[in-house]
Amino acid sequence: MSTLNVNTINPVQANEPLNFQTGGTTFVQLTTAGVLSGVGATAPTISNFNGLGQVLSVQSKSSDLVTSFSADSWVVWDSNLNITVTPQSVSSKFLLSYSTLTGNSSQRVFVRFVREVSSSDTSVGRGAASSGRLQCNSGNYMAGGANFHGLAGQFLDDPDTTSAITYKLEVYSNSGTGYLNRSSEDADNDSSPRGLTVVTVMEIAG
C-alpha cells in the first residue's frame, strides 16, 4: 500500500473538473464548484464527501392575513404561505417549521403539513392513526369567547424525489369557526391580538 502526501492537486486545464480514475476509467469527479460525485453506472456512493447535513437552501414566507375557516374539513389557510422547491438530490431532507396564532369561538384547532408532488397531496409530520382520532402535527383547545392560542411545529421530511415539491400548511376546526392571525372575538382593544404566520422550509443534504 502506498501513501501520497500533497498540499494541492490541480487539473491540467483551468476550469475543468478533477477526475479520479482506475484503469483509465473515471469513477469519481470533483467539479469546479467543489462537488464530489460518482461517475458511470457503477459509481461509488460518496455522499459523505458532499457536506452531509449541510443546509442547501432556505425559503421562508410570512402572512399577516386575517381569515376564517369552517369546521370539520382540512383547508389550506393561505396559499401565499405555500413553498415550492425542487430537491437538489434524491437524498435531500427538508426541515419544515411554522409558527402561527389561531382563534376559535369555543373548540379546537389542529395543524398539519402537506407535501404535494405531481398534483398528489400527502400529509406529513403527523401523529399515528388511532381509530377515529384526528392525525395532526399540533393543536390546541379554546373555551370561551375571546380565546386565541399560539401554535408552532417542526418536521424533517424525506420525500425521496427530485420532482418539484410544494409544502402547504393546513388547518382543521372540529367545531365552530376557526381564525388565523386573530382571536375569535377580535375586539378593538389591546386584549385582542393580531398575529403573524411564518412557514420555513430548509433543504438539508442527505
Which domains are assigned to the chain? 18-49 (no CATH), 55-204 (2.60.120.1340)
Q: Are 160 and 90 in contact (CB under 8 A)?
A: yes
pLDDT in tens, 125-135: 999 989 989 89
Q: Residue 71 pairs with which residues in a beta bridge?
A: 173
pLDDT in tens, 127-167: 998 998 989 898 888 765 558 888 999 999 999 999 999 99
Cα gap 105→145, rounded to integer Å: 6
Of the CA atoms within 13 Å of residue 123, those in its CB half-sphere come to 19
Which residues touch 7 (CB under 8 Å, ≥6 apart)? none
Q: Residue 172 pairs with which residues in a beta bridge?
A: 110
pLDDT-derived band at 27 (thresholds 50, 70, 90) equals confident
CA-angle at 140, arms to 135 and 143, nearest 5°: 130
Of 20-34, 65-79, 184-198, where does mean pLDDT reach its minimum? 20-34
Neighbour count for residue 48 (Cβ, 10 Å): 8
Amino acid in the structure at residue 44: P
- By percentage, how much of the chain surpasses pLDDT 70? 89
Q: Residue written as cell 452531509?
A: 52
Q: Which of 126 and 206 is assigned the larger pLDDT? A: 126
Of 7-11, 53-57, 125-129, 186-190, where does mean pLDDT reach its minimum? 7-11
Cα gap 78→178, rounded to integer Å: 13
Q: Residue 112 pairs with which residues in a beta bridge?
A: 170
pTM of the predicted model over 0.85: no
Of the CA atoms within 13 Å of residue 52, those in its CB half-sphere come to 7
